[in-house]
Amino acid sequence: MTIKDVAAYCGVSVSTVSRVLNDHPDVKDDVRQRVRQAITECGYVPNNSARALVLSRSTAIGVVSRGVDNPFLSSLIRVLSRQIHQLGYTMVLHQIATQDDEVQAAAVLQREKKLLGVIFLGGRFNYTEQELRQLTVPFVCCTYTNTFGDLDRDAYSSVSIHDEREAEKAVRYLVHHGHRRIAVLLDDPADNSIGQLRFQGYRRALEDCGIDYDPALAVITGDYALSAAYDGVCRLIDSGVGFTALMAISDNLAIAAIKALTDRGLSVPEDCSVIAIDGLDISAYTVPTLTTLCQPAAEMARESVQMLIGLIEGTGVHRHRLVETTLRPGGSVAALADT
């Protein structure tokens, strides 16, 4: 069943059918009706390959996701997938390992799948114009922005929280509960990414509150593996350095931290308060419930798709959308008892 068959079926030319298919204006209303009907009756489905060939463009939007086992990104991907499909495009999902380069991956994908645009999830914050020259389609950074790079602000789009400020907010929350010996759990304080920014927020909050930074309280895991976080927190406890609270840069890390604390005989929040940033569903079911700053995942995903499609269809411009987290109070933070 091709366009030709449909044309023959209702006695018009292929070009007329094509016009109807593409909502061109120059078709008489009754003819348009007839063609529409024929299309339904024949159960005709346009051949996307042929269309892509002649238009020399596909309908594919790339989603390149860093951090394969990050459940927060999984939740974003679910919404992206739905949204992209709904708007008539195809999602090409590409997950890369932590050590892989997402720009490289996107560039390859762009050529292979003729991408119209790319949404990056959880990437680096330090792209240079240089390296992005390989990428010739519009892209939007979801969950981050190009803080450490030299990109022109109107050469790309982004949807993110203000990582530094939100981390600061989390730490201040602990300080307001009387804590001053606050540990931090993160992948890497110089990852040119979320870790670095949230670590900066941690430092800034301490500074603003007149608390000295103690490097012994920083647990660096190297990645987002639960096991590394668990081991790191165990080592922190075993080191004997005193602390009454911990800020984890992600819910996942916080879950591992709570486990480590508990296994070492420390109660959360009595002996140690824990706060994080993300707002996973599952972290509402830890014991105790994790207190966390929730990112508006669905909103971020929707916004990213809208921005990108605006760019693709030429009706939008590059924008940078900053969204806010909302505190989900759990049971993992308690006021420090006076002693």
Measured between alpha carbons, how far is 88 from 82 in angstroms, rounded to an integer? 10
Residue holding tokens 């020399």?
A: 56
- Smallest gap from Cβ 316 to DNA, in A, equals 20
Nearer to its own copies, 119 or 151 (CB): 119
Residue 81 has phi, psi (to 5 degrees) of -55, -50
Beta strand segments in 144-205, E: 157-161, 182-186
Query: Under the rule (CB under 8 A), what is the footprint of its own copies?
Result: 45, 47-50, 52-53, 56, 58, 68-69, 71, 74-75, 78, 81-82, 85, 90-95, 111-114, 226, 230, 252, 255-256, 258-259, 262-263, 281-282, 284-287, 289
- Put residue 94 in one of left, alpha, beta given phi > 0 → left and psi -120 to 50 → alpha: beta
Q: Does residue 110 interact with DNA by CB under 7 A?
A: no
- Smallest gap from Cβ 139 to DNA, in A, equals 24
The tokens describing 154, both together, are: 């109107």
Our CA angle for 135, 136, 139, nearest 5°, is 70
Closest CA to 65 of 126, 117, 139, 119: 119
Closest CA to 74 of 156, 143, 176, 27: 143
Instruction: Select the span of 45-53, 134-142, 150-158, 306-314 touching DNA (CB under 7 A).
Output: 45-53
What residues from 6 to 35 belong to the interface with DNA (CB under 7 A)?
11-16, 18-19, 21-22, 25-28, 31
The option from DNA, its own copies, none interacting with 282 (CB < 5 to 8 A, set by class) reads its own copies
Nearer to its own copies, 175 or 256 (CB): 256
Measure CA 181 to chain center.
Answer: 31
Residues in touch with DNA (CB under 7 A): 2-4, 11-16, 18-19, 21-22, 25-28, 31, 46-47, 50-51, 53-56
